Each structure stands twice: as C-alpha cells, then as structure tokens.
Structure 1
Amino acid sequence: MNNVAEPHGWRPFTGDRVLWVIIATLATISVLVVYSSTAKMAYDAHTARSTAHFLRSQFTVLGGSLFAMLVVQRINSRVYNFFARPVYFLSVLATVAVYFIGVSINGAARWIPLGPIQFQPSEALKVATVLFLAQQLAGRQSKIDKIRIVPSWKFWTWTTPPQQKIWREGTWPILMPVLVACLVIFPAHFSSALLVFLASWVMMLIGRVRFGELLKLLAWAVAAAVLATQLNLGRGGTAGNRFDTWVRLWSEPQTEKPIDYLTDTERSMIAIHNGGIFGEGAGQSAMRVEMIHPESDYAFAFFVEEYGLLLAVVLLMLYLWIFFRAIEIFRRCGTAFPGLLVLGLALQITCQALLHIMVTVNMCPETGQTLPLISRGGSAVLFTAIALGMILSVSRQNDEKSHDTPKGETLYGN
C-alpha cells in the first residue's frame, strides 16, 4: 500500500470536486421543492404545521445526511470491505423485522419507528447489497470467468457433484446475496427490489461473470416477476394493478375526465404541461394541492411546473452526470472492489432518478420511487448520502493513490 500525504493538509471536502458541486446543487433544489410542495400539508387542518416546520425538518435531514457523507468519505475502502458481510446481514435482518414490528402505510410495511423518526431498513439494504456483492466479485476475479452461478432448473440434480460445485462456487457466494435482498424487499416495495436486481446484474456483467449465466439469470427473474404478479404475492398484485392502469392511460381516451378521477400520474403530466418551457415560478404550482405526494413520489413533475422544462433537463443531466463521474472514478481504481462499489452505487442512484422521472411522464407504471436527494424523506436521503460518501471516498483514495491491491482482484484477472 502506498500512502501519499495530502499536499494541503486536512480538508473536509475531498474526492471528486464535480461530484461535490452536483450534490450541493441537488441539496439546494431539495430545499426549494420541499418548502413549496409541502404547502398542501401545511394547509391541512389535521397537521396544524406551517411550511416552515417542514422546511426545518428537511434542513435537519439534509444536515444530518451531509454530516454522514463527510464522515463516510474519510473512511478508506478497505474498511468497507471488512464490514461488508456484517453490514449486509444486519440490513437483511432489519428489513425482515419490519414485517413484524414495523408500521404499515398504504398497505406496505416499510418503516421501524425509532422515537420521533421512522427508519426504513430497505434503504440500508440497497447500499449493503452493492457493498457485499462488490466484495464477493472482487475476491473471485482471478477465476470469475470460469464460475457458473445459476444452477440447473432440474432441482432433483442439485445433489450431483457438478451442481454442488455450481452452488458452492457461484450460487451461494455471488447470486444468493442478491436474491435474498430482493426477496426481503419485494413484499413491501417491488420497484426497489427491481432496482437492486438491475444494479447487481450490471455489477456482475462488469465484474466479468459469464454472459450466458447472466442471460439465464435474467430469464429466471422475468419468470419470477410474472409469477409473483399472477399469484398476487407480496406487492405483486399492486404492481399488476399499476401496470393495468398504465396500459389504460395509453390505450383508452382520457378526455373530459373529472379531476377527482385522475390518477397521480395524470396530474403529474398536467403539472408538466402547465410548467412549459420556463415554469410558473417558485411557489406558483397549482397541481401541488391535487397530487397526493408532490414532495416525494412526484417531485420531478412538481419541479417542472414551477421551474420549467429547461431547468428540468439540467436536473436530469445532473443525475446522469453522477454516473459519468462514477465511470471516471472506476477507470482510475485499478482494483476490483472499489471500482465495482462505485459503479454499483452510482447505478442505483441514477436508475432510481430515471425511474422516478419516467413515472411522472407515464413512460412506466407508478413505482413510488423518490427523487434521490431531492424528495422529502429521511432514510432515503441518508443512505443516498452515504452511498455518495463511499463514491467520494474511493475518488479520494484514487487521488492519494492509497488503494490496497490484493492479488487477483484486478478487473482484468491475472
């Protein structure tokens, strides 16, 4: 290991400077969006709280998340590697515990009450799965192109030596952590399980898992999703209903429809139409009082209505920029674990943002995914900040040239 001292002493903000600018911009937009969008809740007779209350709440969340990011970006990736396994299993246990001791909202149990706050363990599990999978893939780079990860569908052959080898070398260490994470998240949040699977699939692709194995895994995943929907497992029934609604919005005329019968997706499209190129202006949204959750599930549509399509395109570019900066950090790593970690985390953040935006313009069924770092929330903002802190940590170590280089852990094998 080569330790190089920083030329200007200790600095609170280290790593990729462009990424810091993106984070600061998103945090500023979050304050503007939440302050204006929560007017609906402030005017609600049942809350008896002002918009200033929700603004202070968001400042507290952002401040705490920024502090966590500052701490995380000072921790070297070898520490993440060491704690990957226990963090993953604790996150799985906490997510499972939600179904027994958590609170249920809109038919989904996602939160564990911790005094005045509600903790959403699935957000921690999303980050932990990337962390653990990066560790598992990194440790097998010298032989990863020879490992099979998907056992035969003929389950009665699993006791044979060839199938036992697949389970031992590929299924248990690489595939099973992803499947377990998806299974425990799925009953409460289908789209989050989908995000975890997609990010993990791409990580395995970049981590040089055999492409034929990945195609088989994708086929099994599609079959499992269809079966869950048909059998109404977990939130599969809800996902099916949302898909049917989405199809109807595209295939049936929606003119002369009373506003009370509009879906939130239709209201979000009206908000985008109202915003036009330059927007209605800050605090001038008309649709915020019509949407159920303008501050979270439809934050992008609300942003377009007030600030216009031009700034909305800039916002979209910021999320894509996060991923492109992650690619640049990845290229400079030279070793598998930090590189895979960075790309996996950036994939989750960018894909979540794109999924949120696609819902608001009716390009896919409703998912309930928030806009990272912008939508009002606690656990989602915190763990997005932690993920960004990890990316910044790897970037800092690239600058310092202080990455460990274990034998057999380059992304190109030996």
Structure 2
Amino acid sequence: MERLINKTKGDRWIWLIVILLSVWSVLAVYSATGTLAYKQGVGSEQFLVKHLVMIIGGIALMYFSHLLDYRHYAGISKILMIITIPLLMYTLLFGNHVNDASRWVTIPIINQTFQTSDLAKLALITFLARTLSKKQENIKDAKKAFLPIMGSVCIIFILILPANLSTAVMLFGVSILLLIVGRISIKQISIVGLAGLVILTSVVLIGKGRSATWMSRIEVFMHPEKADPDKSFQANQSKIAIATGGVFGKGPGNSTQRNFLPHPYSDFVFALIIEEYGLVGGVGLVLLYLVFLYRCTLIVTHSPKAFGALLAAGLSFSLTIQAFANMAVAVGLGPVTGVPLPLVSMGGTSILFTSVAFGIILSVSRDIDEKKEKSKEKVIVGEIPAMG
C-alpha cells in the first residue's frame, strides 16, 4: 500500500478531492437506490456493489492515466477522433433509444451500454489542445489554424446536438473557452459562436420530437407557475428535498424525497445530498469543485508547454462546468437536463471517462513536479564545491 501511495504523483489536493467525491458518491448512491431496488425486486446492495466496481475501476484508470506522460495524449487524441466521429454517427442512427433520444450504444459480449458523448468530450478536448499548441506560430492564420479547429468543433457539436442538447452546448462552451486560452482572435471566436448558434437553431427547427422536449423544459423553467404539474414534477420534488434538508440535513440514509424524486442517484443526486447533509453538505460539495478548479488553474499557469496547459485547462473547464450545471438544475437555476455530477452520480462508463480526464490532469501536474525536482537537484549539485 505504501509503495502504491509513493507512486501516486501530481497534485495531492486533486487526489484528496477525488477520494472525497468517491466516498460521498458511494454514500449517496447507496441511500438513493433503495426505492429503485424495491421496484426491481432486488437488494440495494446489488447497486452498491456495481457502483463500487465502477468507482474502483475509475480510480485504477485514473492511476494508470496519470502515469502516462501527458505528451502521449497528443497522438492518442488523433486516434480518439478517428473512433469518435463514426461512433457518434452510429449512435444517432442505430443507438439505443430512450425518451426519443439515441445516446447510448451497447458494447458486445459484456452487454454494457455507454454514452458516446462521454468519449467525444475527451476526444475533442485533447484534440483541440493538440491542434492549438501545434498551430501557435500560425494561430492568427484562418486557413492554417482556424478552419481545422472550427471543423473539428462543429462536427462533434452537430453529431451530439440532436440527441443530447445540454452536453453539446456545454462542450461547445468549453471549446470556446479553450480557443480563448489558445489565443484565437476574438473575431474568429465570434464566427465560431455564430456558426454554433446557426447549427443549434437549425437542429431545433428540424428536430421535431426532441425540440418539443427542449422547449417544454425551458418553458417550465421560465414560467413554473403556469407549467403542467407533471412536467414540473422533477424540479418541484428537487426543491422539496432541498427545502427540507435545512442547515445540517436529515442525516445519511434518512432521505424521504428519494421515494418521489426521479433519478435521485444521478441527475438529482445533489438535491438528495442537501436533504441528507443539509446546507453544510451542499456548500462543502461546491467547495470541493471550486478547490479542484483552483488547483487546475495553478497547473495551467505552471505548465511549461502549451499542450499541457491547454489540456489541463480544457478538461478542468469541462468537469467543473458539468458539475455546476448539474447543481444549478437541482436548485432550480436552470432547466432540467440529464447531466450527471462528475464522480458523484451513479453511472457506468461515464465514471470511467471522467476518471481518465482527472488522470490526464494529474499527468500534467506530475510532469510539472518532476521538472521542479530536477531543477532543484541541479541547483544542489551546482552548489557542491569541486574536489581537488
């Protein structure tokens, strides 16, 4: 165990945050799945064991991802993009349909489903970081830098958008932030934003069934007093959970709204956490993500290479924006979406992809620490007087 701890490198605060989020996730999911287990006629331990396996698998992936030199992810990003684009197309055409949306594909043999947009997020962010770092000398050149970058962003955006609006919009926003960090001109970024708006409008107009769902959710959010009780049920139950939690909560496992709140183990896990752990627990969870973002900011500013800085920036933006989007929905600050809370919500492969993202950030941090140690060793060696 001691040898394993000694081999974990990178920012210790991020490691601690990952452990705390994982423990909190296990407690929340075990509490939240009691009603689901009863409906399916199984023990809640079955969901707990499955979730534990995913958490442990995620931490293992994070560990191995952080051991790999982050520069190797530049080459891996090209492979991921080659895999991701046809996979997203396959998902749209032949994926598993749930609520009129095709977001999942089933992995043969193991019969496990996964959301292809999770892979797309990782692929696009790493590919953008690679492309932006390689094009720094010609970053203002529209033909050599802007068009290849815009093409990759728009293709992924178009392929995710019809089935998963919230993920597509967040990923597009992260891409815009990454373009700003990568020194793309404001004029070109404005063109990207305009292109995204045109694509979004076109899909909403053509989308029919899905566009009706999106508009309904926005309408419920904007005018809850006029909304159909059935359509506002999720948001109302979430507010009840938060309101009854008080300052210190009802205690672990004492939630009552888990019996009424849809998806208290995934989309609305933050509401359940506030009900059981109170305002103190909710603020504590928010602080964990804020500290994570702060530590990632330090990694970005200290990274000597553009690729490492852009990689850490893009992945940290993606994880924190997703976290705050989930929490905003739970407290009524946004329309209902299906965005999970990173490393806390119950999930399958989404936990694994999230863990890899954390591991890549830690890989950049590990490289910074190793360079600092080498520079210190050189200074110490240089101070030793020569023998003669």
TM > 0.5 fold call? yes
4+ runs deviating over 6 angstroms: none
In structure 1, C-alpha distance between the alignment counterparts of 2:48 and 2:65, rounded to whole Å: 25
| Mapped partners of 1:10, 1:76: distance in 2 | 19
Aligned residue among 32, 36, 51 for 1:41: 36
Q: What residue is the counterpart of 1:112 in the other structure?
A: 105
Aligned residue for 1:291, secondary structure, equals coil
Q: Is the 8 A contact 2:343 2:355 kept in 1?
A: yes
* 123 and 9 in structure 1: CA distance in 2 versus 1, 3 angstrom threshold: closer
Match for residue 334 of structure 1 among 269, 282, 304: 304
- Work out the percentage of aligned pairs sharing the same amino acid: 33
CA distance in 2, matches of 1:79, 1:265: 43
Match of 2:66 among 73, 82, 99: 73
Q: 73-82 or 93-102, which moves further after superposition?
A: 93-102
- CA shift, 1:193, in A, is 0.5
- The answer on 1:297 being equivalent to 2:267 is yes
Distance 1:324 1:84 in 2: 25
Q: Which amino acid letter does the alignment assign opposite residue 325 of structure 1?
A: R
Inter-partner Cα distance in structure 2 for 1:43 and 1:272: 24
Q: Decide which of 132, 135, 141 is 1:147's aligned counterpart.
A: 141
1:182 pairs with 145, 151, 157, which one?
A: 157
Q: Is the contact made by 2:246 and 2:275 (CA closer than 8 Å) also made in structure 1?
A: yes
1:101-140 alignment, distance < 5 Å: 101-114=94-107, 115-140=110-135
Partner of 2:26: 31
CA contact (8 A) 1:187 1:234 kept: no
Whether contact under 8 Å (1:267, 1:291) holds in the other structure is yes
TM-score, length-scaled by structure 2 = 0.90
Deviations 1:35-55 (A, max 9, x none): 0000111111xx221111110
3-state SS, counterpart of residue 111 of structure 1: strand
Letter in 2 for 1:336: A
* Counterpart selection for 1:203 from 178, 194, 211: 178
Q: Which amino acid aligns with 2:20?
A: T
Code of the residue aligned with 1:197 in structure 2: it is: F
Distance 1:281 1:244, change over 3 A: same
User: Contact 1:65–1:382 at 8 Å: present in 2 too?
Assistant: yes
Equivalent residue number for residue 76 of structure 2: 83
Q: Provide the C-alpha distance between the structure 1 equivalents of 2:333 and 2:283, rounded to a whole number of angstroms.
A: 16
Q: Give how far 1:169 is off.
A: 4.1
1:95-142 per-residue CA deviation (whole Å, 9 max, x = no partner) reads 222233421122211122223421222101101100000011000112
Counterpart among 293, 308, 319 of residue 289 in structure 2: 319
- 1:267 matched to 2:267: no
With normalisation by structure 1, the TM-score equals 0.85
1:36 partner SS: helix
Offset of residue 243 of structure 1? 0.7
CA RMSD after TM alignment = 2.0
Aligned partners of 1:329 and 1:316: how far apart in 2? 20
Q: State the distance in 2 between where 1:269 and 1:237 align.
A: 24
Query: Closer, same or farther in 2 for the Cα pair 1:89/1:236, shift >3 Å?
Result: farther
Q: Which residue of 2 aligns with 1:170?
A: 146
Matched letter for residue 147 of structure 1: D
CA contact (8 A) 1:130 1:200 kept: yes
Q: Contact conserved, 2:35 with 2:259, CA < 8 A, in 1?
A: yes
Question: What residue ranges of structure 2 are gaps of 5+ in the alignment?
Answer: 373-388
